[in-house]
Amino acid sequence: MKHILAYLKKYRFRMAVGFLIKTIGTLAELVLPFILTHILENVIVTLKINKVISYGILMVAFSIIACVGNIVANRMAARVSTDFSRALRKDLFSKTLYLSARETDRFTIPSLESRITTDTYNVHNFVNMIQRMGVRAPILLIGGIGITLFMDKILALVMIATLPIIFITVYSVSKKGVPLYIGVQKSVDSMVRVVREDTQGIRVIKALSKNEYENRRYDKVNRELSKKERHAGVIMSTVNPIMTLLMNLGIAGVVAVAAFQVANGKSSAATVIAFMQYFTLISMAMMSLSRMFVMYTKCAASANRIFEVINNPDDFYITEKSEAVTDDSHFVFDNVSFSYLGKKDNLKNLSLTVKKGESLGVIGATGSGKTTFLKLLLRFYDTDSGEIRINGQKLSSYSREELTSMFGVCLQNDFIYADTIKENICFGREITDEDIIKAAKIAQADDFITSFEGGYDYMLSSKGTNISGGQRQRILIARAIAARPEILILDDSSSALDYKTDAALRLALSKELSNSTVITIAQRVSSVKSCDNILVLENGEVIGYGKHEDLLINCPEYKEISDSQMGGVLVD
């Protein structure tokens, strides 16, 4: 909870004002039964109507103060909790964007989504309630006890005797709530994962008529979530009934003792009436405290999950740069090995040098290590052994900003968001309209873009579902080349293009981006055959490296791929 208090620190003045207003309103509410007792015992007996009316007006005034004070304080509490949760969500979302790929894999995307949504909602609710009831409930409880002790010590002690039992009960149950709600949130993660997978693959599910299968898969995680929610709910729901029972026993005790006191002339009916009103206020305060304890368990569980991400140490370290290097190599892999799980190498002993302005093709079967090669170059992951250098400097010597500014990237699973074509190409960067159009022309996208109503201002749907796969790929390629990067990465980005468009794209790239180093990952030999060098991977190891013509002679695996795709004919 100390992390939440740190976030609330900048709202301390507004919270202090809200607490002050809430205190005034609660004290005004607390004094009403005392005034009523005074009227019944001392004012009515005088038979002076003016005096009765005056005290009645005083009660109305205190009632208005209590009402207005609570309304104003509650509005301030709502504003503070809203601003607080917005700042918390912003920081949590920002942190998720800067998590390394390895850390993202550890937390999982569905879990991060539920932390940003459900967990922040639980914390928001608690912060809102603690401002609304965190002051009012203790004042009603302590103030009510103090006034009743002043009015009649014996009756007050009967009432107070139940309070320690209530506190022990609430504390014991609430202590069990935190691990229970952590389990609930983990089940929420699983449900979010299934929903996310189904929404992304809805077309495939419908095409294969797997609706019922996915319904059963969702029902399984939904039942698991319901089971854990029910278990947590049953445990936490015992608080209110037990507290109500104890409070009712206290009321019964007060009534019994009060009857004896009144019968013996040691108390008055007016005092008993006031006591019942104060007991009602104290009961409300205890109910509020029990709700806060229940919400605290949810908040504590959610806060632990939120700050597990926010306080996760940044594993993007930066080393010192070495002396300037004068060779013409653009990037170098020096005996690099890497494994995602630390068991089997996904890339093993990879060594190669690519000069500035050269083009590199990477080809291999699924799972051969092609995308892993790119992830290491982009430093999504750090190598387990070996070294990667760009412009003669270790990859680890570049800051995030320096590193990302070198690359233009069109990844295999790239995305389009709901905005105009122009904004999807620009992607929040300072790129002129002229450069956007030029990039689209190089990517062979300008013709179909200008055919749309609105042209570059044509609105795309999320994931680009309102355009074809080939059009989507060309927009993504335009995004990658719009800023004229040092190193352009195209990861299977032309798989949906016909051979003619693919050839035109490669020709335009060679002419317009002659100073950029281009890395093309592809399944088709036709997409890489014109590259200066081609890297052939199999099971994470290099089985061929060189020009297309040389690999046809020296690499049987590459020749087999080429023959299967182009019938053994050397295509110019």
Per the model's pLDDT, the better-predicted residue between 231 and 453 turns out to be 453
With DSSP H G I counted as helix, E B as strand and the rest as coil, what are the percentages for the chain, rounded to 5? Answer: 65, 10, 20
Separation of alpha carbons 192 and 93, rounded Å: 17
Task: Measure Cα distances from 527 to 211, 409, 530, 556 in Å.
Answer: 37, 17, 7, 19
At 544, give phi and psi (nearest 5°).
Answer: -170, 145
Quickly count helices (H) and strands (E) in the chain: 23, 10
3-state SS, 98-126, equals HCCHHHHHHHCHHHHHHHHHHHHHHHHHH
Helices marked H in 494-541: 499-512, 525-528
Q: Indicate the average pLDDT of the chain.
A: 85
For the four alpha carbons of 505, 510, 514 and 518, in that order, the dihedral sign comes to positive
What is the mean predicted confidence (pLDDT) over 426-439? 91
Edge-to-edge strand list for the sheet holding 329-338: 347-355, 329-338, 385-390, 393-394
Q: Could you tell me the pLDDT band of residue 65, with boundaries at 50, 70 and 90? A: very high
Residue 508: φ, ψ to 5°? -65, -40
pTM of the model: 0.73
Q: Residue 570's pLDDT is what?
A: 45
Residue type, 404: T
pLDDT at 432: 92
CA distance 488 to 33: 77
Give yes or no for a contact between 558 and 365, defined as CB atoms under 8 angstroms apart.
no
pLDDT level of residue 480 (50, 70, 90 thresholds) = very high
Task: Return the percentage of the chain with pLDDT > 70, whole number.
Answer: 98
Phi (first) and psi of residue 239, to 5 degrees = -65, -55
Per-residue pLDDT band at 457 (split at 50, 70, 90): very high
Question: Predicted confidence band at 572 (pLDDT cuts at 50, 70, 90)?
Answer: very low
Q: Where are the domains positioned within the chain? A: 2-310, 329-566
Backbone angles phi, psi at 324, to 5 degrees: -60, 140
Examine the pLDDT at 568 and tell me if it is beyond 60. no
Report which residue type is found at 151: M
Q: At 525, list the tokens.
A: 């030999």
Q: Based on C-alpha coordinates, what's the Rg of the chain? A: 35
Q: Using CA atoms, how far apart are residues 145 and 131, in angstroms rounded to an integer?
A: 22
pLDDT tens readout for residues 258-268: 787 777 777 77
For residue 240, the one-letter residue type is: N
Structure tokens at 406: 């070198």
pLDDT class for 529, splitting at 50, 70, 90? confident
- Through-space distance between the first and last CA atoms of the chain, rounded to whole angstroms: 67
- CATH number belonging to the domain at 2-310, selected among 2.60.40.1080, 1.20.1560.10, 3.30.230.70, 3.40.50.720: 1.20.1560.10
Average the pLDDT over each of 218-222, 290-294, 361-365 and give the range with the smallest value.
290-294
* pLDDT digit string, tens, across residues 108-164: 888 888 898 888 988 999 999 888 888 888 888 888 788 878 777 787 787 777 777
Q: Please check the confidence at residue 482 and state whether its pLDDT lies above 60.
A: yes
Number of residues assigned to the chain: 572
The architecture CATH gives domain 329-566: 3-Layer(aba) Sandwich (3.40)
CA distances from 84 to 4, 15, 467 (A): 9, 11, 40
* Model pLDDT, residue 174: 67
Q: Contact at 8 Å (CB) between 303 and 123?
A: yes
**Which residue do the tokens 């909790």 mark?**
81
Contact 490, 331 (CB under 8 A): no
- The model's confidence at residue 196, banded by pLDDT at 50, 70 and 90, is confident
